[in-house]
Amino acid sequence: MNAFTSNQAYSGEVAWFPKGFALFENIAIAWQAVDLGPSLMNSLLYAVLAGALAVLVAALAGFAVSAIPGGWRTFWFWLIYSGALFPAQAFLRPLFTGYAETGLYDTRWGLFLIYIATCVPFSFFIMRNHMLSIPPEINEAAQLDGAGWWTVFTRFFLPLSKSALAAAFIFQFVWVWNELLFGITLSYSEEIRPVMAALAGLQSNYGTVGPPVVLAGALFVSLPTVIVFLLFQRVFASSLGGAKI
């Protein structure tokens, strides 16, 4: 309701109905105040490329621990998945120091690397669980026909894992799009920062632009993830069920 209200009509009181219709005007002000255009493109680039590369790495790791025979499978599973168990705040100080010393601070490569690294563990969890459900007879029959591990992975396991790949990618797309902590810690320039960092900059101008503008900007920025979730919620439901440890 406040996002629909103009700054002039906003009183700070609880409102059950909007006072006018100033949503598009508020979005335009938010867009100009922090230049949301480049940040939106940055987040789209980070979410698509980092999500896709993370899912590919996770699929390779999931195949290795679920289909290739050998020991230490449980060890490798917990080693990779443990990356999803520790809070991100624990990595901020060494990341900031390392990025500053290596020249990765405030660069797209730096954000790509951290987004891929943080997206791999949970994507690995999804892919490994799905690949465990693929009948082992497929793997055995392919090897009897002379197929190598790379052929088994690309010709059989990947095509049979399309739903899990899609679910993992969409999940990571949403996570990267909504990520704020690394965005504000490892970048500062408008050409590099993601959209949530730009939105945080809009909130710092709270007293200048007014609460309705801040809320309208937040509403506008959240629309892509809401649309993605509504379009692909069936993929989530069909692919995330039956998790195995």
pLDDT, tens digit (0-9, with 9 covering 90-100), for 67-93: 888 778 889 999 999 888 888 888 888
Q: First CA to last CA across the chain, in angstroms?
A: 44
Q: Is the pLDDT of residue 225 over 70?
A: yes
pLDDT value of residue 80: 92
Residue 43 gets the label, from left (phi > 0), alpha (psi -120 to 50) or beta, of: alpha
- Of 218, 206, 50, 185, nearest in space to 123 by CA: 50
pLDDT value of residue 245: 46
What H or E segment, with its residue span, contains residue 133?
A: none
Token reading at 164: 């899990």
- Residues with Cβ within 8 Å of 122's Cβ and at least 6 positions away in sequence, in order, are 81, 84, 168, 171, 172
Comparing 38-47, 140-149, 199-208, the range with the smallest average pLDDT is 199-208
Report pLDDT digits (tens) over 18-52.
777 888 998 888 888 888 888 999 999 999 999 99
The amino acid at residue 243 is A
Mean pLDDT value of segment 174-202 = 90
Residue 96's pLDDT band (boundaries 50, 70, 90)?
Answer: very high
Residue 10's pLDDT band (boundaries 50, 70, 90)?
Answer: confident
pLDDT value of residue 103: 92
114 φ/ψ angles, rounded to the nearest 5 degrees:
-70, -35
